[in-house]
Every structure is written in structure tokens, then in C-alpha cells.
Structure 1
């Protein structure tokens, strides 16, 4: 029987690639989404429906909905992958405080709450995997994305520190840090801007969602068991 994976943000471009990759390896899926129910419905059509144990709708920027999500986790969770989130563009000094609170909850507090809820069972079972999708900006920062960069930096720090705390209990904690990936999140860029970025990438192309999902599959595999607290860049050398 395959292991149960809670995929937070399953309806996004990267989340969808991860869901497809996990299903191809026989993992059972617990799929979270916010608004894009159509994506989840497509999974039921295109994937082995028996592998989809449940689907949970929740706005993870709202703590009450996070709590509701936790009450709906009736299946044991062997691994959790955090692939949700959204970017925020603009000058930092123009950022509204309500937006700050929303982004902080979505990217930092919600993963804390979900991880805290799942850890006792993982510790008792002496196994578990916790994986984040962070961002290259969490390491090097980006102007006009100051808040997003700092929140992804917080995720990186969480991964590194929690990994040391739970490693003796057989739990691995790692992150995948994408660079420029061809997703809807980059649709705000003009074609010329995308071309300029691609020209700066040694691999001479944007990354794909499959590039990210393939690293997730490696981290899910027991062959990666000695990798702990790492932020693995998927950037094409950018």
C-alpha cells in the first residue's frame, strides 16, 4: 500500500505536476486547494481515482480555515508537501498591513500549524517527510518582492532548524527552491522580460513544473534518506 501524502496547494501549476508525479509512483493523495476546484476535478479524470483519498478546500490565509482543514485529516499522513502560496509585487513601503498579515499567515504561520499537528504521529511512527517549495528569492532576495522574499527566507530557516530537531525521530525535512519556472505566477512579465531572464540562465530555458516535481519524487524516495535540512535549488544555474 502506498504512503499517504498531504499536498498543500495541489491546484497550482507546480502542485499539479507534483500530484501527477506522486500518483505515477503509487502514492495516495490528500489534496488541498483554495479556489481552483476544476484542477482537482481534472485529477480525478486523469489520475487513478483510487489514489485520491480526499480533497479539502480551505483558504490558508485564514486561521479558522486552517483549523477546519486539520479536523478533516481523517487519514494518517506519512508526508506533507507545502506547494501553496502566492507572490506579491510592488514597493515594500506601499504594502498594506492587511496584505502583510495575509501573506505571513499563508507562508509562515499556516505551515507551522499544519506541521505541528502532524508531527506527533510522525514522531510516534519514527518516520515522516516534510517538504517545502520555497524560492530562489528566499536566498538572494528580489526588489519589488521584498515581502515574498522574506517569507520564503523564513521557510528556508524553518526547514533547516526543524530538520535538526526531528532527525533523531526518523523525519526528514527539506525544501526545493525553484528559480524561473514557466507557471502562471510569471504571467505578469512581458515577453521581452521573460526573454531577458532566460538569457541569464546558463541552461538557456525556463524551468518546467516537471523539473520541480522530479526533485520532489527523489526526496520522497528512501534513497534520499541521508539528505536533511537542505534547500535544493532548481534554477538551471541562474
Structure 2
């Protein structure tokens, strides 16, 4: 571990800069992807005939290799191939693809009895969605969000293969220099980052579902 720490100290300026890029590439696509996936998932749940084609399309999108997507997007977006925006857009697409089914299934997991009770209380369709359905679907959506966040963290490193500078560069440097220290350092940082995001999402789900703690305490 001394060699790993020494490598960090020797390259601290570069690594700290890569860390900042990696963090926003990991966080922003998940947030934007969730915002986009919510209405699409709701539509897939609300209009049942769209569920199969929408989720099938999302699943197909998720199977596109990340390297291919990183290379295709510059031609579509008009960006340079080394622009981190390409990675952000690709990860956003993957997040949407993963969460669309999760959102639809989460909304569909709310029982008909619960929805009928909300209607009997005078809730409009929008109020039922906002005050009943979405809160009850939070655990399901949160589970999908955890998968998306951890998956995105691992996919970011792939972009270093085409030259996008972020913490994945540690793996490239380790391979080029035939040194284990940068590779081990990269593994530690990526693992810690994925674990932190996972814990933050778990905490968010816990905060948004206080009734689950009340039920468990009985």
C-alpha cells in the first residue's frame, strides 16, 4: 500500500482533477436519467399497450456496448471525441434504459385497493400519483437507481480507453507503465465511490419512506 500512496502523492494534481470529472460524470447522468425515466415509465404503466415496446426498446438500448456508444455520439452531438459530454450523454441513456422498466413496475406495484382508497378520499389522478403512487414506489425505484449508479461508476472507466481523461486513466497508466500501484489505486477509488453512492441512495430511500420504519418498529 505504500507504493499506492506514494503514486497518489506523486500524481496528486492529475488524480484530483480526474476525480472531479469522474464524480460529475457519475452523478449528473443518474439524476438526469431519473428525471427522463419517470414520465416514460409512468406512460408505460398508464398506457398498458406501450409497456412491452417501451421496455423492449430500453432493454435493446442497454445492450449497446459502451465503447460503440462513446464513438457514435460525437457524430450525433457534434462534439469532439474526447469531450466528457459524450460520456455523460451515454451514461444518461443507459440510466434511462435501466430505469424505465423499474419506474413502470414500481408504479404498478401499488395495489388497486390503495388506489381505490385514494380515489375515495377525493384525490385526483395527479394527486394519487404524487401523494400515493410515487411514494409507495420509492423502494422499487430506489433499488433500480442503486444498480444504475453503481453501473455508471464502472462504465466511466471504459471511456479512458478512447482517451477521455478521468480516473479510468489510472488503469491505462498502470498498463502502459506495467505498474500495479495506479491500477490498485483506481480500484480503491472506484469501489469507494460506488459504495458511497449506494449508501447515499439507500439513505435517500430511507428518508423518503418514513412509514416503513414505523411499520418495522411495531
TM-score normalized with structure 2 length = 0.26
- Greater RCO structure (CA 8 Å; 6+ sep): 2
TM-score normalized with structure 1 length = 0.25
Bigger fraction of residues in strand? 1
